[in-house]
Copies of this chain bind each other. A is one copy, B any other.
Amino acid sequence: MTTRSGFFLEDFDVGRVFHHATPRTVTAGDRSLHVALTGSRFAMASADTFAASCGFAKAPVDDVLVFNMIFGKTVPDISANAIANLGYASGRFTAPVHEGDTLDAVSEVIGRRELSNGRSGIVWVRSTGRNQDRRTVLDYVRWVMVNKRDPASPAPETVVPALAEAVDPASIVIPDGLDLSGYDWAAAGNGTDWDSLGCGQRLDHVDGMTIEEGEHQMATRLYQNTARVHFDQHRSSATRFGRRIVYGGHIISLARALSFNGLSHACLVVALNGGRHTAPTFAGDTIYAWSQVLAKADIEGRVDIGLARLRTVAAKNHPCDDFPDRDDEGRDHPDKVLDLDYWVMMPRR
């Protein structure tokens, strides 16, 4: 008897909804592990007192941790058989998550297209993370390349969803009660403030973080992400890489943590405009990161909060003081592993 099969292109009918398994109560343990695995130092997720001075009852759970927990739940249904995780878009964090909240996830298929090779295709899903009150805490679109179960089966109708290039800042949700007018600048580090950030400005985050097999495995299991490429060296030995691959979400976590150097006041991630894992990462690689300010936006009626649209690029074994990016033909630098486009909320002076 086979006890795991996953799904194939034929299974992803547009409109089909997957109720993913294993709800999860987020705990202090999850938060500590996230710190231990990434070194994140953002004050908002670190200290109840700091968060309380910003209007939260307690420190919210790190946004990237929430993302990875929701993502993990979708893996057995959406990407167990995926050939590649192609991208993200249209993500919004719509309610803070606190210790004791229980998260679950559902995904709806919103697009499908067979590739010209006839053997595989692309599937778009919108995944929604919810808390115990059925309130959405995060939703985002991702698309993956999956094999067909039977190459002889007819090509399904092509449906490609329209995806905005970026989340409209007017649609970004401000957490209930958030008030940054009493923000403790010193406690939050010496990063650039929102008013000083210039569009187009680039920041090298300087530090590097080397990844060990045990670390990325623990992070990925913490998210209950079961994709076998991250865990099974015996089978990986026969693949083209010959090794386990680091889960891309762990790279996002590391890049966000590294961005504290320079962006310590980017206190909340509030939207995910897009993202690509441009190359695989392996244990032993050292991750560096740099960021660029793509845009800034006001929030109507608020003088305490500003929005900044950032692009954070992570590279492996390549310190980022030269801002590795794309060449003249648009090809990613071979050391690049992540290109993430997102909105953050920041205090204003």
Contact = CB atoms under 8 A, between A and B. Distances in A.
Interface of A: 1-4, 19, 21-25, 27-33, 35-39, 41-43, 46-50, 59, 76, 99-100, 102, 104, 132, 186-192, 201-210, 212-215, 217-222, 224, 226, 228, 231-235, 244, 261-264, 284, 286, 288, 317, 319
A189 B22 contact: yes
Determine which residue in A3, A132, A207, A221 has the highest number of CB atoms from chain B within 10 A of its CB, and name it. A3
A59 B222 contact: no
Contacts of A32: 27-30, 32-33, 222
A191 B3 contact: yes
Nearest to A228: B207
B46 A319 contact: no
Q: State the majority secondary structure of interface residues on A.
A: mixed
Given A49-B25, A221-B35, A210 B186 contact: no
Nearest to A198: B1
A27 B29 contact: yes
Given A208-B235, A209-B232, A221-B37, A47 B21 contact: no
Contacts of A76: 189
A219 to B, nearest CB: 7
Determine which residue in A27, A76, A188, A244 has the highest number of CB atoms from chain B within 10 A of its CB, and name it. A27
